[in-house]
Amino acid sequence: MANLAADLSTVLRIGPFRRLWAVLGLASFGDWLGLFATAGFAQSLFDDPAAKGLAFAGVIVLRLAPSMVFGFLAGVLADRFDRRITMSTCDLLRFLLIASTPTVYVITHNVAFTVIWLAVAQVLIEMVVLAWMPAKEASIPNLLPHSKLEAANQLTLATTYGIAPPLAFGMLAVLERGEHLWSGLGIYGEPMVLALYIDALMFLIAAVTVYFFIPEISGRDLKHERKQQNMWQDFTDGIRYLRGHELVRGLIIGILGAFSGAGILVGVGQTFAIDLGGARAAFNTLAAILFIGLGCGIVFGPKLIGSLSRPRWFAASIMLASAGLVIDAVAPLLFVGLAGSFVIGAGAGMAFLAGITLLQREVDDDVRGRMFSFIAISARVVLMGAMVVAAPLAGWATTWISYGYLTPSRVLLFVAALLVGGLGLFAFRRMDDKPGIGLVRDIWRSVTRKEEAPTGTVNAPGMFIAFEGGEGTGKTTQVLKLTAWFKARGHTVVQTREPGGTQLGSRIRALILDAKNSDAPSPRAEALLYAADRAHHAASVVRPALADGNVVISDRYIDSSIAYQGAGRGLGGEEIAHLSQWGTENLVPDLTIVLDLDPAVGLARAKGGGEGDRIEQETLDFHRKVRETFLSLAKKRPGRYLVVPVNADPDTVGDHIRDEVAKRLNLEQLNKRDQTAWPDLDETASRPRDGRTEAMPASPSGE
């Protein structure tokens, strides 16, 4: 808990995020209050109990229905327009629409007209929410270092699902119990009318705060990067992005699997409670335990799993939810069913947290709104569809199928377990970042802390940047330029390379690259030599520098071995990656910059009229495979890679790299607007690094 409190304290010291979190708290409180206040207001318009029930259900349906029509275009708005203006406009519209509902009733006293307007307003409010939500999710990564996204998501999810609902219920209870206190206001003092006006005020405050006090939400400069295309083209671009990135596909399919299981569970809940010997009270208890598990997964999940990689944690969490469904399916008694519900909630909460964090880290800012919108809308559709199918099916089947213990609700829960587990396995196969290492063994080591398995994604307090690319792309030149830029900003920089960043590495480099060496290593020996250098380099240079809060910039890292030995030598990328991941304890750069150039041009530059080193003397086909591998790796992890075509002079390329680094790692906003945003780097900026920041010698290829 101490680490969690420290992380939350760190993110709350970042001014823009702190203000956004306050806005999200107001919006979440307003959403829950508005939903139940509107439903209660609709019920208050009728006296007949059946009409009251239909009014309540009608409000819920009207809030969900627009997802089917408008939802998939909402993300386009978040990516196409300034997100600060989008969010503030949406909050202002919610203020007007929510306030209009009781106002129409106050002015007209006409129930029929009020009901019609209430229905129209609910549809419009939901359309506004659909545009607001992806803009909000896509904005968060622009306000924080990526290493702090998980803690920020814990805070926002806990606020949305743990704090806001009880506050909303408490507000309604206070208004209803104190009705006599504001009865002097006449019709304005009716509890639900007053609740709606208070709710509207929340969104007015949120709109003002976002527009005037959080300019950082705007993010990128749309004037310079807006493509000349229509919204339909933006939509299809998002679909193509989804199809082209395995990690994103795995995340989305896994999340939808979890929601389908949740829908089936909620749908059969009433019937299942009866099967366990309970009644409605038992169903309410099962639902309460499910949400308690959800909250525990979000709050305690990261501490529980320790350093398990986040892609593996995501897939394992979905499979944990599947195991909870199996427990419920075979539960003989209510307390066993309650345990299963808690496991389902914990798995879903951890998967939700890990999935959102991975999407924020891995998805390009240009399409992030569309990806979040697609997930949100698809999840709603899947959830509603599963509930609509499961609830009547369980009730209908119960009337004519009876095999004692084997009831329809148990069968449906088991089907849900198979569905969720299968999709969790699918996500794991698409996202696994540690091939060759058993998942169960990895989880056990991480949970028990017997052998720490690093996440590979969080290098705080320092920052790790690697340059990759083929021969002659100018990596060393750009490493020097970026190093100088960081130093000018006050950071201590450890500039290094592979092989050659240590004395041992320099000797290994000579063995591998010397074209005149008559005893040149075989492909497998070459791969092992590179891996040995990398393991020593990571342990003796990179990790100590990161622990001191410094910026590490390396000329080549693991991807070079995957490209040169895995693809070029034909040894297999997965095997080479596993070897280096084991050697470095899965240390992964915060950002990998791939310099891209036609191999024929690059080789001519590198050789400079000479024969070149042993690698440069390989065939053009060898170097083309290397280039294709670098681009393929970058395509799979777009949030962690930056591909820079080397089609201009070095200064222009360097300017582009610096702009992208500032945007990707949030340096411009955080350093300019809030010096407490990245305290570890700022506090260590003046420390000496034992001479490690001197310029590197030129590589044998002349880069």
702: left (phi over 0), alpha (psi -120 to 50) or beta: left
Q: Taking the CA of residue 693 as centre, how many other CA atoms within 13 Å lie in the half-sphere pointing to its CB?
A: 20
For residues 313 and 250, the answer to whether their CB atoms sit within 8 Å is no
Structure-block tokens of residue 520:
């040149």
* Rounded Cα distance, 123 and 60, in Å: 10
For residues 248 and 242, the answer to whether their CB atoms sit within 8 Å is yes
* Rounded Cα distance, 523 and 526, in Å: 5
E-state strands within 11-126: none
Structure-block tokens of residue 375:
């997930």
* Rounded Cα distance, 665 and 43, in Å: 50
* Rounded Cα distance, 42 and 53, in Å: 10
User: How is residue 648 annotated by DSSP?
Assistant: S
Q: Identity (one letter) of the amino acid at 321?
A: A
Backbone angles phi, psi at 551, to 5 degrees: -90, 125
User: How is residue 694 annotated by DSSP?
Assistant: S
Annotated binding site for ATP: 469-476
Q: Identity (one letter) of the amino acid at 120?
A: V
Annotated binding site: 469-476
Other Cβ atoms closer than 10 A to 645: 13
Distances in whole angstroms, Cα of residue 538 to Cα of each of 464, 532, 543? 11, 10, 6
646: left (phi over 0), alpha (psi -120 to 50) or beta: beta
Nearest to 139 by CA among 223, 214, 251: 214
